[in-house]
Amino acid sequence: MTHATDVTNSIDAGRGTTARRAFLTRAALTAAVPAAASLTAGLLSGTAEAAATPDLPDFAPVPAGSLGPALNGQGYYVGPIADGLYWVTDGSYQAMFLATREGVVLVDAPPTLGHNLIRAIEQVTRPIGLPSKVTHLVYSHSHADHIGAAGLWGKDVERIGHAENRRLLKRDADPGRPAPATVFEDRLVVEVGGERLELSHHGANHAPDNIFIRAPRQRTLMVVDVFYPGWVPFSNLAVSQEIPGWVRAHDIALGYRWQTLVAGHLGRLGHRGDAEVQRQYIADLYAGARAAIAGLDPTPFFAKYGPGGNAWAVFKTYLRAAAERAAGPVTDKYLGVLAAADVFTVDNAFTVVESLRIDDDVLGPFAIHP
C-alpha cells in the first residue's frame, strides 16, 4: 500500500487574522500541545475572564500516548492516512477527506476547524496536482459541533447523509448546516475519481442518524462520538441519545475490517487496540453500576429526604452515590491508561446507572412494590 508524504507545513495565514481565529488557535494549541498549557496564563492575563476565574480542580496528567501531533501556526494539523485519504484536527475535533482526480470528498466540517479545512485541503492537493474543489460532503450526523461549517461550501457540492439526517436538518433550518440532497436508509457507496467510501447505518447510537463511514482500500473506519482514542468518553457517554445503541456500536465497529480509526474528536487517530480498551472500560462501568445498584443501601436517602416529601433529593443523592461507587474502581484502573479518567468517569457511570434502570429494568430500590 502506497502512503502519501506527510504534510505538516503551515500555509501563509495572510494578514487578516481575526480575533476569533486567534482565540480558536490558542484554544486548539492548548488542547493538543502540552507546552502550550503553560502559555495560557500569559495569553489570558489581565482579561476579565482571568480575573473572574474561580478556583479550579486539579486532574491527573494526560498520558503522552493520548496526545496527537503538534499543530501548525494556524492551529491545525493535516496528515495522511493512506492512498489519498487524509485527516485534519485542531486537537479537539477531526474531519477526514479523500483527494481524488475528480475532486475532494470531505467527511464532516467542524466549525472549530472552519476555514482551516479549506487551507488543509489546498495544502495537500496543490503540491500533488489534484483538484482542491470539494465535490461531495458527507455528514456523519446532524450535530452542529461536527458539521456547523458545512455552509462554507455553498450550493455547489453534493451533500450526503442518512435519511434521518435530512429530516433533522430540515427541522433545524440552520443555514450553516444545509440538509443533504442525497440520502440513504441502510447503505450507500460513494464513488468519486476511482475511490470509494462505504456508508452504513446500524440504528441510533450517539444520535439517531449517526453513520459508519468506511474507506475499504485505505482500511479506515470513521465513526464519530463513539470512540475517543486514548481518552475516556466525553461526559455522560458522549451525551448520547440512545445508550444501548451506543454501547452496541462498539461491537459493530469492531466487526468491520479496519486498521485506522477517525473518531471525530481529540488530537490523534485510533487503532483497534483503542477500540478494545474503550469497550472494556464500558464493560467495567456496567459491572460496577450493577454492583452499586445491588449493594447500595437506600435507607439513609429515604430517611433523610422522605419525611419532607423531597422525592428529587432522594433520587439525586442515591443515583449520585451509586455512580460514585461504580466509578471508583474504574477510575483507579484507567488512570494513566486513558486520559481524563478522573474527569468524566463518575458522569459516565451516572449514565450507565440510569440506562440500567430505564433500559434494562435494573431498578434497585425503585423496583416493583411488593
What does the pLDDT read at residue 366?
Answer: 83
User: 122-126 — which CB contacts under 8 Å span 24+ positions?
Assistant: 122/11, 123/7, 123/9, 123/11, 123/78, 124/4, 124/7, 124/78, 124/86, 124/97, 124/99, 125/99
Specify which residues 106 forms β-bridges with: 97, 137
pLDDT band of residue 17 (cuts 50, 70, 90) is: very low
Specify which residues 196 forms β-bridges with: 191
Residues with Cβ within 8 Å of residue 55, at least 6 apart in sequence: none
Give the model confidence (pLDDT) of 326-363 as tens digits.
999 999 999 999 999 999 999 999 999 999 999 999 98
Taking residues 262-277, report their average pLDDT.
Answer: 98
In the chain, domain spans: 19-270, 281-366
pLDDT band of residue 365 (cuts 50, 70, 90) is: confident
pLDDT band of residue 51 (cuts 50, 70, 90) is: low
**What is this structure's pTM?**
0.86
Q: How far is Cα 343 from Cα 360, in angstroms, rounded to an integer?
A: 26
Among residues of the chain, what percentage have pLDDT more than 90? Answer: 82
At residue 308, the 3 state secondary structure works out as coil
Q: Are 124 and 83 in contact (CB under 8 A)?
A: no
pLDDT band of residue 195 (cuts 50, 70, 90) is: very high
Q: Is the pLDDT assigned to residue 21 strictly greater than 80?
A: no
Considering the domain delimited by 19-270, tell me its CATH architecture. Answer: 4-Layer Sandwich (3.60)
What does the pLDDT read at residue 354?
Answer: 96
Give the model confidence (pLDDT) of 76-94 as tens digits.
999 999 999 999 999 999 9
Q: How far is Cα 95 from Cα 139, in angstroms, rounded to an integer?
A: 10
Ranking 45-59, 68-82, 341-355 by mean pLDDT, the lowest is 45-59
